[in-house]
Amino acid sequence: MSEGERESEGERENAAAAEAADDSPATEASKKASKKASKKASKESSSSPAGAPRRRWLKRSRRAQRWALVVVVATLAVGAYWCFQTYQRVIGYPARAGVGGAEVVEFEVPRGASLTEVMRRLIAAGVLPEDEALWFKVFVLHRGAAGKITAGEHHVRGDMTPEELLAELIRAQPSREVRVTIPEGRHTLEVAQLLADAGLGARDELVAAMRDPALLESLGVEASSAEGYLFPDTYKFKLGTAPEDVIRRLVRHHQQVYADLRRRHRDAAAALEKEFGWGDHEIVTFASLIEKETAARHERPRIASVFYNRLRFRNFQPKRLETDPTIIYGCTVPVEKSAACQQFEGRIRRIHLRDPDNPYNTYTHEGLPPGPITNPGRAALEAVLAPEKTRFLFFVAKNDGSGMHKFSKSRAEHEAAVDEYIRGK
């Protein structure tokens, strides 16, 4: 064996001896003794005066943590209880009866009023307690009903539940509009009565508005009355509309229709001004005569031609239109009436035919009457501007229920027609 091998073998023997020594009972006892000494030193160190502050700090820290936990738990409990109570109140709020009285209160919601304004009025009326306002607002908004509240009169009570109160506020209101039809051929007093019957004011108030100089001037009506300018048609008005506004609307409608016709027949209107000196007022007056003479639409241009012929033909003298409706109007509608008209009882008599004091009497006065005798419609207005071309000078009602007339070119023909249709000869 060489020297190197002997050294290596020796090292291995030494290492094995060392491992055997570590595993021996003496070594285990030494380790246990060391651990006991370490624990004892640690215990002595803790019980020493230098370790007391640490123990007190740990004790206080644990106490604070317990109190914090108590506070957190209590807060959560209170919050949970409040949330539960609030939830119960929210759930039960719509069906909870109000604290007010049971008497019915008439409550008006103005048109366009906001939810805030409606609530303010409910509080003022004693229907909604002020401390409930926020609850009611949230309830209405939650239902999406803020924009559904209807303007008008509502009947509410202080003991209503929020559900009942909201149902009343969004209740559909009865129609506050009235529909009224003004037929063709009605004069101002008849129109005023129709409007009054529809609930649009007292008859006398409406007549006063028709004769109001300031109103007529603002509308551009150069006359003492709105006669002739109250266009016959069907209208819708809101209840409570002032009489002045009602008349203003009828007149504005006439002006729109007339302006359209005048544009369509501007040459005819210019010719009438050149020949007779007529303006808009005279055209409307002439149309009112045509309106009263026939209800047959197709006859109106022919009736217009008869009146034009009486004014134009040289052999027709004097230039009297001789139409009965003008006498009746002068005896019934104007404020001031002649002595003969004061004796008028609904039927034209000789005293009325010969009455020179009735300015509307076309049997004693040549040309047009002072103003319209009714309110003409579109067809009558257009007949003035677009008449038929005829040689007729007279006409008489056939009295057969057709509403038609017999037209004649001479007085002899006319008298024969009168005998046939009126006198029954």
**Three-class SS of 314-365:** CCCCCCCCCCHHHHHHHHHCCCCCCCCHHHCCCCCCHHHHCCCCCCCCCCCC
Cα-Cα-Cα-Cα torsion 305, 307, 309, 314, nearest 10 degrees, comes to -170
Can you give the pTM of this predicted structure?
A: 0.66
pLDDT of residue 2: 46
Q: 207: which 2 tokens?
A: 């007549």
**Tokens of residue 108, six digits:** 């008006």
Comparing CA positions, the residue from 363, 325, 357 lying closest to residue 342 is 357
Kindly report, residue by residue over 290-329, the tens digit of the pLDDT. 999 998 999 999 999 999 999 999 999 999 999 999 999 9
Q: Does residue 72 share a domain with residue 161?
A: no
Number of H helices, E strands in the chain: 17, 6
Same domain, 122 and 76: no
Does residue 58 sit within a domain?
no
Instruction: Tell me, yes or no, whether 150 and 227 share the same domain.
Output: no
Express each pLDDT in 104-122 by its tens digit: 888 889 888 999 999 999 9
309 in a structural domain: no
- Indicate whether 32 belongs to any domain: no
Within this chain, do residues 146 and 181 fall inside the same structural domain, yes or no? no
Helical axes 162-169 vs 133-143, angle rounded to 10°: 60
Same domain, 158 and 181: no
Lowest mean pLDDT among 35-49, 154-168, 357-371: 35-49
**d(C-alpha 210, C-alpha 346), whole Å:** 24
pLDDT at 401 over 50: yes
Same domain for 182 and 281, yes or no, is yes
**pLDDT tens, position by position, 327-337:** 999 999 999 99
Per-residue pLDDT at 183 exceeds 90 = yes
The reply to whether 217 and 286 lie within a common domain is yes
Q: Are residues 200 and 251 in the same domain?
A: yes
Q: Does residue 181 sit in the same domain as residue 293?
A: yes
Q: What's the confidence (pLDDT) of residue 174?
A: 77
Per-residue b/e over 18-29, b at no fewer than 16 CB within 10 Å?
A: eeeeeeeeeeee
What pLDDT sits at residue 75? 84
Residues 184 and 163 in one domain: no
Residue 135 has a CB neighbour count (10 Å cut-off) of 17
Q: State the residue for tokens 């003035």.
A: 384
* Tokens 């309110």 belong to residue: 375
Residue 26 lies in a domain: no
Residue 196 lies in a domain: yes
Evaluate whether residue 409 is within a structural domain. Answer: no
User: pLDDT class for 22, splitting at 50, 70, 90?
Assistant: very low
184 shares a domain with 163: no
CA distances from 346 to 45, 112, 171, 324, 373 (A): 136, 51, 51, 12, 16
User: Residue 244 sits in which domain range?
Assistant: 176-297+373-379
Here the tokens at position 141 are: 């908004």
* Higher-confidence position of 132 and 326: 326
Specify whether 191 is located in the same domain as 292: yes
- Number of Cβ atoms within 10 Å of the Cβ of 384: 28
Whole-angstrom CA distances from 97 to 32, 36, 129, 411 are 84, 81, 12, 87
The domain total for the chain is: 4
Position with higher pLDDT, 391 vs 63? 391
3-state secondary structure of 424: coil
Q: Is the pLDDT of residue 59 over 90?
A: no
pLDDT for the residue 90: 60
**What percent of the chain lies above the pLDDT cut of 70?**
83
> pLDDT at position 58, please?
66
Work out the pLDDT band at 17, boundaries 50, 70, 90: very low
The answer to whether residue 197 sits within a structural domain is: yes
254 belongs to a structural domain: yes
Residue 18 pLDDT > 50: no
